[in-house]
Amino acid sequence: AQTVTQSQPEMSVQEAETVTLSCTYDTSENNYYLFWYKQPPSRQMILVIRQEAYKQQNATENRFSVNFQKAAKSFSLKISDSQLGDTAMYFCAFIINNTDKLIFGTGTRLQVFP
Amino acid sequence: DTGVSQNPRHKITKRGQNVTFRCDPISEHNRLYWYRQTLGQGPEFLTYFQNEAQLEKSRLLSDRFSAERPKGSFSTLEIQRTEQGDSAMYLCASSSTSGGAWNEQFFGPGTRLTVL
């Protein structure tokens, strides 16, 4: 079975601090992509960052970076210098190469406090 | 606004009624996806189209559900004889296959269905 587990239903962080959201996944496939999506309250989901499974180097997008551990099937998201606008649900997801079906975790609700 | 749009944004219906949702993808995108998101869960894949062809359907898509994309542009998702368990957010996404090995899916705002 292909699954994504996000063990932190809720997290909070103070503005300007750093927070890490955890994610583990399970698949027997070797070629896939991993993603973190952000879903702000009452707004549409947007892609935050992606990681190709064949790349060892961790992806970075401005204040967002990942820690990808392929052997452990772990894919955590680090948000540095947190901003109030980062308040949202964050979903970890993956997609197997040559398929088009995103598989999502249950999400982590992140609250950034001033 | 050139993003994915969905209508209606909210729908309240009585059990047993039929409902239809519409999704308008980004204009140049040839792939269109439907996902369902229940409370406290992440989105779950329902089906997807490439142009007008429906290429995959999830087992979640019972016989009461039907999706179409007749001209390869907008899509409709119909639920017949709605049940309370159908209450969820229905998300639409679109992508273009011209981007290479991986095609980013852009999501719409969703249609929230409440079945009373």
Residue B103 pLDDT greater than 90, yes or no: no
- Chain B: closest CA distance from residue A97 (Å): 8
pLDDT digits (tens, 9 = 90+) for B31-88: 999 999 999 899 999 999 999 999 989 988 889 999 999 988 999 999 999 999 999 9
State both tokens at A94: 């993956």
What is the model's pLDDT at position A100?
81
Spell out the SS3 assignment of chain B: CCCCEEECCEEEECCCCCEEEEEECCCCCCEEEEEEECCCCCCEEEEEEECCEEEEECCCCCCCEEEECCCCCCEEEEECCCCHHHCEEEEEEEECHHHCCCCCCEECCCEEEEEC
pLDDT digits (tens, 9 = 90+) for A6-54: 999 999 999 999 999 999 999 998 889 999 999 998 788 999 999 999 9
Out of B42, B108, B109, the one facing A105 most closely (by C-beta) is: B42
Residue B12 pLDDT greater than 70, yes or no: yes
Using the Cβ of A11 and the Cβ atoms of chain B, whether some distance falls under 8 Å is answered with: no
- Chain B: closest CA distance from residue A6 (Å): 10
Specify whether the CB–CB gap between B22 and A80 falls below 8 A. Answer: no
State both tokens at A85: 């606008």
A47 chain-B contacts, CB cut-off 8 A:
104
Using the Cβ of A45 and the Cβ atoms of chain B, whether some distance falls under 8 Å is answered with: yes
B102/A50 CB distance under 8 A: yes
Minimum CA–CA partner of B57 in chain A: A101
Minimum CA–CA partner of A43 in chain B: B109
